[in-house]
Amino acid sequence: MTRPTTDAVLEIDALSKTFGGVTALDAFTMSVRRGDIVGLLGPNGSGKTTSFNAVTGIFPPSGGTVRFDGADITGLSPQKVYAAGIARTFQRSRLCLPLSIFDNIMIGNHGRLTKGLWFNLMRRRAFRREFEQGYEDARALVRTFSTALADRLFEPVGALPMIERRRIEICRALISRPRLLLLDEPSAGMTHDETTQLMDDILDVRGRIEGLSIIIIEHEMGVIERITDQCVVLNYGRKICEGPYAHIAADPEVQRAYLGAE
Ligand SMILES: Nc1ncnc2c1ncn2[C@@H]1O[C@H](COP(=O)(O)OP(=O)(O)O)[C@@H](O)[C@H]1O
Ligand SMILES: [Mg+2]
């Protein structure tokens, strides 16, 4: 494999998405450097989630290109984007509450279970080995967030408080060993203290996983200031500002966009 020639892990160029007459994303260009945490900001309806959906193949973009580690991944299916190394969490929780922590995390691991069901039925020992490896991986991952949680892998997710559920969602994304993690409003519905804890976790994860890059959609300015290296601000589907937090926070157009949205 040829090594990427730039420091950018993700390069989005002139990405557009229209729904009927609505331009949700308008020639959006941004890039993410390896190892950075990038904050994606903007009022409600400004196209933040749409940009994640266009990158991860949920909606094919109407125009533009997406390059990941130097390869063109524009318009690939969600499965292919995921296999390429991009994992995400969703704005609304996608956990299956009656299922256990373990089951929920393994749903995120389907890309690494290489052998099909039929093979596994025929080869129980191989299946068992794969299961045990999955259990060890899941347990090790959960333990990095919380040792108490790692001992409760077979309890239903529905019994857990919101912050633990969010941690499980992040574990589910990380079990595929992505090089880019997209987090869509991970702090939604949490208290200020829970948000602070979760952001500490996210900083930890970045510190622990060599080369992992993260894009986080987040509204709370204090959070953005504390955890991001770079920020990008969207308004009506267009990028209106980018740079370190101090730069975007001082920008009059950004301030207008936020005040106008309130
Ligand atoms: N599946 C869809 N069908 C039609 N319009 C959509 C769809 N998804 C998003 N939109 C529209 O695109 C715009 C951007 O939405 P979204 O990306 O969800 O904003 P954000 O995440 O910044 O709040 C909004 O006007 C929204 O109504
Ligand atoms: Mg959104």
pLDDT at 121: 64
Specify whether 154 is located in the same domain as 121.
Answer: yes
Q: Hey, is 146 helix, strand or coil?
A: coil
Question: Quick one: pLDDT band at residue 131, thresholds 50, 70, 90?
Answer: confident
Residue 90, in any domain of the structure = no
Q: Of 127, 157, 176, at which residue does a domain stop? A: 176
Measured from the CB, is residue 47 less than 6 Å from ligand 1? yes
Specify whether 119 is located in the same domain as 155.
Answer: yes
**Neighbouring residues of 220: CB distance < 8 A, sequence distance ≥ 6:** 187, 195
**Which of 16, 22, 25 is the pocket-test mutation for ligand 1 (most atoms within 8 Å of CB)?**
22
Cα 104 to Cα 158: distance, rounded to the nearest angstrom? 11
Residue 59, in any domain of the structure = yes
Type of residue found at 228: T
Quick one: which atom of ligand 1 is closest to the CA of 50? 17
Tell me what the mean pLDDT of segment 224-238 comes to. 97
Higher pLDDT, 117 or 236: 236
Specify whether 121 is located in the same domain as 111.
Answer: yes
pLDDT at 18: 97
Closest of 5, 50, 1 to residue 28, by C-alpha: 50
pLDDT at 1: 43
pLDDT at 118: 66
Specify whether 224 is located in the same domain as 150.
Answer: no
User: Which residue has the least CA distance to atom 24 on ligand 1?
Assistant: 45
Specify whether 37 is located in the same domain as 61.
Answer: yes
Cα 61 to Cα 15: distance, rounded to the nearest angstrom? 7
Measured from the CB, is residue 44 less than 6 Å from ligand 1? yes
Residue 165, in any domain of the structure = yes
Question: Quick one: pLDDT band at residue 120, thresholds 50, 70, 90?
Answer: low
From ligand 1's centre to the CA of 24, what distance in Å? 6
Q: Which domain holds residue 206?
A: 1-85+178-262
Any idea what the CATH number is for the domain that residue 188 is in? 3.40.50.300
Specify whether 99 is located in the same domain as 170.
Answer: yes
Specify whether 239 is located in the same domain as 129.
Answer: no
Q: Of 129, 157, 176, at which residue does a domain stop? A: 176
Residue 126, in any domain of the structure = yes
**Neighbouring residues of 67: CB distance < 8 A, sequence distance ≥ 6:** 10, 11, 13, 73, 74
Residue 119, in any domain of the structure = yes
Identify whether the C-beta of residue 16 lies closer than 8 Å to the C-beta of residue 27: yes
Measured from the CB, is residue 46 less than 6 Å from ligand 1? yes
From ligand 1's centre to the CA of 173, what distance in Å? 23
Question: Could you give the strand order of the β-sheet that contains 8-19, starting from the edge strand earlier in sequence?
Answer: 22-33, 8-19, 63-68, 71-72
How many C-beta atoms lie closer than 10 Å to residue 238's C-beta?
15
Q: Of 124, 151, 176, at which residue does a domain stop? A: 176
CA 111 remoteness from chain centre? 16
Residue 54, in any domain of the structure = yes
Higher pLDDT, 114 or 32: 32
How, if at all, do strands 180-184 and 213-217 pair?
A: parallel
Specify whether 78 is located in the same domain as 3.
Answer: yes
Indicate if the pLDDT at residue 133 is higher than 90.
no
From ligand 1's centre to the CA of 16, what distance in Å? 12
Specify whether 106 is located in the same domain as 79.
Answer: no
| Average pLDDT over the chain, rounded to an integer | 91
Specify whether 205 is located in the same domain as 242.
Answer: yes
Measured from the CB, is residue 45 less than 6 Å from ligand 1? yes
Which tokens go with 77?
């299916």
pLDDT at 93: 85
Residue 28, in any domain of the structure = yes
Number of domains in the chain: 2
Tens of pLDDT, residue by residue over 74-97, are 999 999 999 999 999 999 888 999
Measured from the CB, is residue 42 less than 6 Å from ligand 1? yes
Specify whether 78 is located in the same domain as 194.
Answer: yes
Specify whether 220 is located in the same domain as 148.
Answer: no
Alpha-carbon distances, residue 42 vs 38, 87, 235, 237, 248 (angstroms) = 13, 22, 6, 9, 11
Cα 107 to Cα 198: distance, rounded to the nearest angstrom? 22
Region of 237 on the Ramachandran plot (φ > 0 left; ψ -120 to 50 alpha; else beta): left
Alpha-carbon distances, residue 198 vs 149, 194, 204, 211, 221 (angstroms) = 15, 6, 10, 20, 15
Q: Hey, is 133 helix, strand or coil?
A: helix
Residue 120, in any domain of the structure = yes
